[in-house]
Amino acid sequence: MLNKYVATIIISGLLIAPSFAMALNMPTSGNDLANMQGVSAQAYIVQDATTGQVLIDKNADMPWTPASLTKLVTALVVLDTKPKLTKTVAITNQDQTLGACTSGGACIKAKVGVKFTVDGLFHAALLPSANNAASALARSTGLSMDQFVAKMNQKAASLGAVGTHFNEPTGMDPDNKITAADYAKIVTAAFSNAYLRAIAGLNNYSLRSTNNSRYNQTIKNTDKLLTDADVEILGAKTGYLTESKYNFASLIKYNGQELAVVVLGEDHLYTAFGETKLLTDLAGQAQLLALVNWGPMVLGTSTVASAN
């Protein structure tokens, strides 16, 4: 596998003598670079968040189970209702059940009747990806579950995520579907919101119950790249189900650009983090490679392959 320094040398050679390098079957696009590096995600995309230009992608239109990536759309829909952040919401049995809180689902420590503010629920749904918090957050709007899910699908469509469909707000349903290309638009919209970006920038948060101090707790961000000095994360969300494997979506600042980077179907969370960093670096190299074409930039071109 080539490392990024070798790739940089190759690109330098291309810029100096493109015809000679092409004859040696050198990479000519970001997708070529990603293939040479052996990126293992089932689907991925790197997109300029400002222009929408795709820099690198593979299987970007392939339907995939989002798992807890769903929660960013839940958060956007709740924000659209202009919520009062100090409003208190009691955890219900529905929240605990939908969140699979007694059977391994990610949940904040709670029981029926324990109250948290809407602001606390936003933090709990996004940082540790708590399913019961996401369910309670959706309920806080006063919409029925069917009404809320309809709003989620309308929100996705309004962002241009036409291959996306949700059945519930937590991400626990494997029949929720996104595509990498769709989710690049969603993660860009989510972390263009100052409130959500501020939450995503926290390593941990002191969650307080408004009616039972026994359920005060410190919650932690699942995004381990947040403390990585090699990458500037503006906002990110993890997701995992058996059906989806590990998903990671992020908005990253790189060389003055904001890049939406989505990797889906990784075998390990650390692989999702590592390949996010790799794809970010390759995106910069892809833009150098495009100079070799001496014409319109040819960067990522979506390819379709089996998910098996």
Q: What positions carry a catalytic annotation?
A: 68, 71, 129
Kindly report the backbone phi and psi dihedral angles of residue 276, in degrees, each rounded to the nearest multiple of 5, phi listed first.
Answer: -65, -45
What are the CA-CA distances from residue 200 to residues 22, 82, 128, 221, 235 (Å)? 43, 19, 11, 8, 5
Going through the chain in order, the beta strands assigned E by DSSP cover 43-48, 54-58, 88-90, 115-117, 204-207, 217-220, 232-241, 245-254, 257-266
Give the three-class secondary structure for 116: strand
Non-local (6+) Cβ contacts of 38 within 8 A are 1
CA distance 259 to 80: 24
Q: Token match 């309004």: residue?
A: 158
Non-local (6+) Cβ contacts of 20 within 8 A are 13
